[in-house]
Amino acid sequence: MKKWLAAVTGTALLMSGCMPSFQQEDEVVQENAPEDSEEQTVIIPNFQISDEYYRTLLPYEPSPSRGMVVNNLNTNYDIAEFENGLMRVAQQNFSPEEYFFQAGQFLESDTISSWLNREFTEEQLTEYGMEPEENIGLNPLDNGEGSRAERAERSPILLAHILEHNYFVKSSEDESKVRLGGIVIGLAMNSVYYYNNDGDPYGPTFEENIPQSRLEEEGKAIAAEVVSRIREIAANDPEKAELADVPVTVALFKQEPKSTVIPGNFFGFATAEAGSNELGGWNAMNENYVLFPSEEARDSYRNDETAFLNFKQDIETYFPNFNSVIGTGLYRGDQLSHLKIDIPIQFYGKSEIVGFTQYIAGRLIDLFPEYFDIEVSITSINGPEALIIKEPEDTEPFVHIYEQ
């Protein structure tokens, strides 16, 4: 790996889009870096959006596996939540006040692709022209016995994607130095396995639902194997030797079916301490997303559903030129933590946009409790028109109207 040089600065990243001016740079060498490593300067921005977001080491280093997630997950909702949710998991062990984010640098795209394969029989290895040492797929073996439906039930593709995040921390002995403090691995698991009949890739697509209990059992087994392989990489590759002595957190994510308009959720994580090949105890993440309005919201979260329907009815009464109001709520346990509301509309003038936005902002305060975040996005065929954000306990929301 590269030696990391930290430049601690007091600058802020401005929303105007201008390039920031980084001053008072202090170049130092990362602790425990291999002697023959290439040195590289990194910058730690002093500005932090909030205590929920990590500062990112600059210049930004794209992950070697960048872009794979787009092909491996079902929806944009899952793609966004897989990334954002993994950062929430990271906060359990790596505080945003002390640690700095970098996109994963250790798992190459070829490595991830190989791990996402199925395990193969000896006959399949011969058929595919593969060597035994290449038989490292983490998905279940499909030996071809039985009908396609029987095999889909017995051996579905469970693991859809692997995402790596790296977290750096200042040295305890010298704060001008940074070192790798830990890595977090997200394992995206399929809740539905899609397949075609053998020899008919363009025929009808069938579905096999995968029980949550199976995702948990086999996901934990895959997680343990991933940790073991990461330590093996450290032992065999001098440039990645630092992986041997950092904590590794692995989190399990259940992605939703292709037709769903809400994201999936993380449901568990565990950590292997520095130098250990074994994951510790698993921690349940009692998070899930709920669509408003929906049958699930009505049955399980009636008070929140009622508040949302009243909000929707008020809009319908006073502003007829809109298509729909859709909400997505993030629940932690039984309590709503964040509500995102999307309102697509047809507007014919700026004054109408201003009036509508003002009305919405007022109804948020009147109709919804104070204990959770609310974000309202108002859009038209021209793009975003307005954004309203209300933090917990706010007496007035933040309102921004976009200039077209």
Q: Which tokens sit at 321?
A: 């030129």
- What pLDDT does residue 176 have? 75
φ and ψ of 234, to 5 deg: -60, -40
Residue 102 predicted with pLDDT over 90: yes
Helix, coil or strand: residue 305: helix
Measure the CA angle with vertex 136, ends 279 and 131; round to 5°. 155
**DSSP strand pairing (55-56 vs 99-103):** parallel
- Are the C-beta atoms of residues 194 and 224 closer than 8 Å to each other? no
The Cα–Cα gap between 84 and 70 comes to: 15
Give the CATH architecture of domain 62-285: Roll (3.10)
- What pLDDT does residue 403 have? 86
- The torsion region of residue 154 among left (phi > 0), alpha (psi -120 to 50) and beta comes to alpha
- What pLDDT does residue 30 have? 45
Which residues, at least 6 apart from 223, have a Cβ–Cβ distance to it below 8 Å? 185, 187, 250, 252, 270, 279
- What pLDDT does residue 321 have? 64
Percent of the chain with pLDDT over 70: 89
The Cα–Cα gap between 24 and 303 comes to: 53
What mean pLDDT comes out for the span 203-216? 95
Q: Which tokens sit at 394?
A: 């706010």
- What pLDDT does residue 296 have? 95
Type of residue found at 277: N
What mean pLDDT comes out for the span 370-391? 93
- Are the C-beta atoms of residues 126 and 149 closer than 8 Å to each other? no
Task: Kindly indicate the confidence band of residue 395, based on its pLDDT and cuts at 50, 70 and 90.
Answer: confident
Q: What is the pLDDT of residues 245-287, one digit of tens each?
A: 999 999 999 999 999 999 999 999 999 999 999 999 999 999 9
Lowest model confidence (mean pLDDT) among 172-176, 375-379, 394-398: 172-176
- What pLDDT does residue 21 have? 37
The Cα–Cα gap between 14 and 400 comes to: 17
- Are the C-beta atoms of residues 262 and 328 closer than 8 Å to each other? yes
**Whose CA is closest to 343, among 390, 380, 297, 381?**
380
Cα-based distances in Å from 334 to 151, 191, 195:
37, 22, 35
Q: What is the pLDDT of residues 171-193, one digit of tens each?
A: 877 777 889 999 999 999 999 99
Q: What is the pLDDT of residues 140-152, one digit of tens each?
A: 999 889 999 999 9
Helix, coil or strand: residue 342: strand
- What pLDDT does residue 18 have? 36
- Residue with the larger pLDDT of the pair 94 and 42: 94
CATH number of the domain located at residue range(s) 290-401 in this protein: 3.30.300.190
- What pLDDT does residue 322 have? 66
Rg (CA), the chain: 24
Task: Kindly indicate the confidence band of residue 202, based on its pLDDT and cuts at 50, 70 and 90.
Answer: confident
Domain edges within the chain:
62-285, 290-401
- What pLDDT does residue 42 have? 80
Residue 60 predicted with pLDDT over 50: yes
The Cα–Cα gap between 4 and 168 comes to: 10
Residue 25 predicted with pLDDT over 70: no
Residue 385 predicted with pLDDT over 70: yes
Q: What is the pLDDT of residues 228-242, one digit of tens each?
A: 999 999 999 999 999
* Strand partners for 303: none
Respond yes or no on whether the N-terminal peptide bond of residue 293 is cis (omega within 30° of 0): yes
**Whose CA is closest to 155, among 170, 175, 141?**
141
φ and ψ of 48, to 5 deg: -130, 125
| Residue 150: half-sphere exposure toward Cβ, Cα within 13 Å | 5
- Are the C-beta atoms of residues 192 and 210 closer than 8 Å to each other? yes
